[in-house]
Structure 1
Amino acid sequence: MKEYRDQYFEGERPLFGEQDATIVNTTFGKGESPLKESRNITLKDSIFKWKYPLWYTNHAKVDRTILEKVAHAGIWYTHDIEMTNCSIQATKTFRRSSHIKLVDDHFSNAAETLWNCEHINIDHVQANGNYFGMNSSDIYIDHLDLIGNYCFDGARNVEVHHSTLVSKDAFWNCKNVTVYDSVINGEYLGWNTKNLTLINCTIESDQGLCYIDHLTMRNCRLLKTDLAFEYCSNIDADIKSTIVSVKNPISGRIHAHAIGEIILDPAKIDPSKTTITTDTKITKRKSA
């Protein structure tokens, strides 16, 4: 296997089509697509300072490597890549790629990262940026700390564990999402999604959990969440806290410790199709 160590490259495509190579302590300066069309690459302790570093790459292992801010749109059309202990300052890092494993990585500006990708494994990752994970599928997440709105819009087959998501409009337009032991903070959670399951989660979401078909919640807390479940169907929810208000659920079962206000409009939904119970007295019932 070829080895590059303590090197500096500039110019367009300096290692285009490189195969079966180990690259250590190497900096790629100004110049697009330094490792485009590469195969079987191991990168360690290296730096990318310019655009499109790993396009059309197959079978790459990247460790303790930096993608600086200008190295945006860095990894597109790439398959079978593992990144560990990496620092990514660039936006739009993954697009139309598959079999991605991210471990102990930090994305300081993850805007529009992981779009239209599949078979993703995220393990102890920190990310900051809007539209993370859009239209991607087959995602397994353990310990993701994400700050950024509209995360996972249009995603499919997502499983999340032990994570914190500070995100408005999280999980919109999704199919088959299950979240365990996590915190989600941000208004309008989960709209227009089918098959959303939340287990042992703490949620704060103004007008959250609306327009969902098949919503399951087990041992969850809803902090300052109002107008919840509007136009949701096939609800099966056990909430261990007080819900500020519930509005016009279509069908199913809702049980909560307490509910401040229930708003039901018979002109819009059939109230008999949803069973609502509480451990304490409901503060107010209202027919809108």
Structure 2
Amino acid sequence: MTTYQNQLFTGERSLFAEQDATLNQVTFSDGESPLKESRNINLKNTIFKWKYPLWYSNHIEADHIILEEMSRSGIWYTNDIKVTNSSIQAPKEFRRGKGITLINDYFSDADETLWNCSDIHIENVQARGDYFGMNSENIYADHLSLIGNYGFDGAKNVEIHNSTFVTKDAFWNCENVTIYDSTINGEYLGWNTKNLTLINCTIESDQGLCYIDHLVMKNCTLLETDLAFEYCSDIDADIHSNITSVKNPISGIIKAESIGELIMEVDKVDPSKTTIITNDAQTERRAG
């Protein structure tokens, strides 16, 4: 096992194809791809200042590392990597990788991060940026805080706990997503998704929860959510609040404290296929 301690590396591919090494208090300055094609690397207190630091690498453990703004597109085609207690300032990190663990990390610019990846474990992570998690699969997240639009577009097999999302168009085009004990704030939630389950969640969304095939909601609260459930099929929704408005659900059961306006356009949907149950007999119903 080679050890690099208190060193500065410059130039392109400075430790190309390095294997079985520990790096502690190391800085990679100018020069692309410093650890490209590396294997079995342990990084501690390491700083990356330039592009593409970890491409085509395998079996990487990184703790208290910093990827500065220009280390963009830094970790692509890399498998079996664990990054803990780290600060990541660059966009487009993690693409087409497998076996990714992120714990206690902060992404200040998470644009286009975690694209086309699989087998992802996220725990106590804060991220800010658009298109986080696009087209990735087999994702488990606990205490993820994401601010940025289009989160998890096209993702598959996603399980999320105790998280907060401030994101427009989140969870579009997904399959098999289950979210527990979380808060979601943003327009147009969940469109074109198949098998979406929300349990003990608080949601605020303009025209959210539309165009979904098989939507399950258990003990959820909808805050100022309007035109919900449009063209949703196979709905099983248990809502412990008012719903501002519901429009043209295709089929299923919707339970709520009340619904401000229920719009069922008989030329577009068959109202008999959806059961509406409210505690408020004053729900306004409008058919067209």
Q: Indicate the TM-score class for this superposition, using the shorter chain for normalisation.
A: over 0.9
Structure 1 counterpart of 2:205: 205
Equivalences for residues 177-196 of structure 1 within 5 A: 177-196=177-196
1:283 positional shift: 2.9
TM-score, normalised via structure 2 length: 1.00
Residues 261, 282 of structure 1: 8 Å contact kept: no
Is the contact between residue 150 and residue 169 of structure 1 (CA under 8 Å) also seen in structure 2?
Answer: yes
Query: Could you say what secondary structure the match of 2:112 adopts?
Result: coil
**Amino acid paired to 2:167:** S
Please list the CA deviations of residues 65-107 of structure 1 after superposition, one character each: whole Å capped at 9, or x if unmatched: 0000000000000000000000000000010001000000000
Counterpart-to-counterpart distance in 1, 2:58 and 2:151: 27
Deviation at 1:279, TM superposition (A): 1.2
Name the counterpart of 2:116.
Answer: 116
Unmatched 5+ stretches in structure 1: none
1:54 Cα offset (Å): 0.4
- CA RMSD in angstroms, aligned pairs only: 0.4
- Secondary structure in structure 2 of the residue aligned to 1:217: strand
| Offset, 1:280 | 1.5
Report the secondary structure of 1:95's partner residue. coil
Query: In the aligned structure 2, how far is the partner of 1:271 from the partner of 1:6?
Result: 70
Q: Post-superposition shift, 1:281?
A: 2.0
1:220 equivalent in structure 2: 220
Take 1:272 and 1:30, find their aligned partners in 2: how far apart are those partners?
66
Match of 2:54, SS state, is coil
- Tell me how far apart the structure 2 counterparts of residues 48 and 226 of structure 1 sit (CA, whole Å): 46
Cα offset for 1:112?
A: 0.1
TM-score norm. by structure 1 comes to 1.00
Q: Which runs of 4+ in 1 moved over 4 A?
A: none
Amino acid at match of 2:207: Q
In the TM superposition, residue 282 of structure 1 has moved relative to its aligned partner by 3.5
Contact map agreement 1:167 1:185 (CA 8 A) in 2: yes
Match for 1:243: what amino acid? Answer: I
- 2:257 is the alignment partner of 1:257: yes
Deviations 1:148-190 (A, max 9, x none): 0000000000000000000000000000000000000000000
User: Which residue number in structure 1 is paired with residue 105 of structure 2?
Assistant: 105
Give CA deviations for 1:170-220 in whole Å, capped at 9, x if unaligned: 000000000000000000000000000000000000000000000000000
Residues 61-80 of structure 1 correspond to what in structure 2 (within 5 A)?
61-80=61-80
Q: How many residues align?
A: 288
